[in-house]
Amino acid sequence: MALPRRGPRTRRAAAGGDSNASVLSGATTSATIDSVDLQLLDSKLTELGEPRYRSGQVWRWAARGAAGFSEMSDLPIELRDTLAGAVPFSSLTVEREARASDGTVKALFCTADGRPVEAVLMRYRDGRRSLCLSSQSGCPLTCTFCATGQMKFGRNLTASEILDQALHFRRVSEVDHAVFMGMGEPMMNLDNVLAACERLPDIGISHRRTAISTIGWIPGIERLAADPMPIRLALSLHAADETLRTELMPVNERYPLPDVIAACEAHYEHKRRKVFVEYVMLAGVNDSFAQAAQLADILDPRRFKVNLIPYNPTGSGYTGSSPKAIAAFRDELERRGLDATVRLTRGRDIDAACGQLAARARLAVTVAEADVAGAAT
Ligand code: SAH
């Protein structure tokens, strides 16, 4: 959806650009809220001699789940027709969609330039409706257990492309939580992610019910800490030992764990909200009793909460830990005073569809019930 302008974003510009040029070589880094769509809608409205408030009207309809311009009954009917013919209603087209019996819906979209983007809607018995959103098409990082990390990096998504994932699901259901745990590293596209976050409350998702997950991209963690929006920070940690973490997540060499933990602690000091640590459980790799103790040693229970993630096999050569091993790991963390939960797996019965949705792309089928619940607290 085209986004109406909401004043200059000088605050973020002043906070400094991402220092990610080397990793992002070849990526589109410039687009922020000024997406192609916005320019198209704004220029079309100007060309038609329409008043400035029109683009705000269009956005309010879209944010409430309108399926197209034709539903926007407070716009003159000729204008609705003209816009329908001139401005694409979404920057994304739906390529595939899969529905699980537990209410999970996974969508594979395609951008105007042919890039794959995935997003998931999870519905819970207690009524929560949570979205898992992508920030990039593919990912420039190369975490060895992650299917997105193994596919070719495309580019950063624009704010419109991020919001259009949410708007797609908003058209079928009210939504109230969002996590940036789909494709990509949100901190490497933080301008666009935050621009999208600013709009999420219009769709029904407050900042407190929004979580951004990162591999530990320190400049992004610092910027999020300084941002006034009370967004939850989640850290993908996966190994307390530096050598093992570098093996699993090569980016650890760039941002060593002690520095990442310090940045997360500073985030806690600013926001007073616990940082959620994600820890994917890999059999015989990071799931031993000693590794639980090591993890507990580096995390302050007042500032961190751990969410253990059952591994979703991707053909990477890793095997997921057994439920017994996961429970023992959790018990050891709890015995040492850390809050620890095990992520519920959603959408199991549509796992098979993942391959159909995007040839090599991982779909976030195991997005956290616990994470999402926590994002609300
Ligand atoms: N780049 C960000 C956000 C996207 S990934 C980050 O890494 O935090 C969201 C979470 O899913 C991360 O914790 C990631 O490690 C985890 N993940 C990746 N592949 C997985 C898999 N095959 N099974 C379970 N979790 C996985």
Residue pLDDT, tens place only, 98-128: 888 888 999 999 999 999 999 999 998 889 9
Q: Which residues line ligand 1 (CB under 6 A)?
A: 145-146, 181, 185, 213-215, 236, 278, 280, 309, 311-312, 314, 362, 366
pLDDT, position 25: 28
pLDDT over 90 (residue 48) = yes
**Secondary structure letter of residue 363 according to DSSP:** P
Mean pLDDT of the chain: 85
Nearest-CA residue for atom 24 of ligand 1: 311
**Between 362 and 71, where is the model more confident?**
71
**Closest listed residue to residue 127, CA positions, set 375, 377, 334, 373:** 373
Q: What is the pLDDT of residue 1?
A: 65
354 belongs to the catalytic site: yes
pLDDT band at 42 (very low <50, low <70, confident <90, very high): confident
Provide DSSP, 31-73.
-SS--HHHHHHHHHHHHTT--THHHHHHHHHHHTT--SGGG-T
Buried b (16+ CB within 10 A) or exposed e, 63-80: bebbeebeebeebeeebb
Which of the residue ranges 37-51, 99-113, 138-152, 280-294 has the most confident prediction, judged by mean pLDDT?
280-294
- The 10s digit of each residue's pLDDT in 7-35 is 444 334 333 333 332 223 223 333 333 44
Whether residue 180 has pLDDT greater than 50: yes
pTM recorded for the entire structure: 0.87
The secondary structure of residue 29, as a DSSP letter, is -
Question: Is 377 buried (19+), middle (13-18) or exposed (0-12) by CB count in 10 A?
Answer: exposed
pLDDT at 229: 98
For residue 72, the model assigns a pLDDT of 95
SS3 104: coil
Give 272's contacts (C-beta < 8 A, 6+ positions apart).
none
pLDDT of residue 29: 36
Q: What's the CA gap between 230 and 77, in Å, rounded?
A: 40
Per-residue pLDDT at 37: 67
- Contact between 79 and 50 under an 8 Å Cβ cutoff? The reply is yes
Quote the pLDDT of residue 2: 58
160 Cα–ligand 1 center, Å:
23
- Tokens for 309? 């993630």
- Over range 328-343, report the average pLDDT: 97
Range scoring the smallest mean pLDDT among 13-17, 215-219, 271-275, 337-341: 13-17
- Tokens representing residue 353 in the block: 């569809």
- Residue 122 CA, distance from chain mean position: 14
> Given 3-state DSSP classes, what are the helix, strand and coil percentages for the chain, each rounded to the nearest 5?
40, 15, 40
**What is the model's pLDDT at position 343?**
87
Query: How many other C-beta atoms lie within 10 A of the C-beta of residue 103?
Result: 15
Q: Is 132 a catalytic residue?
A: no
Catalytic residue among 118, 278, 332, 369: 118
Q: How many CB atoms lie within 10 A of CB 126?
A: 7
pLDDT at 237 > cutoff 90: yes
Residues of the chain above pLDDT 90, percent: 71
Which pLDDT tens digit goes with each residue over 277-324?
999 999 999 999 999 999 999 999 999 999 999 998 888 889 999 999
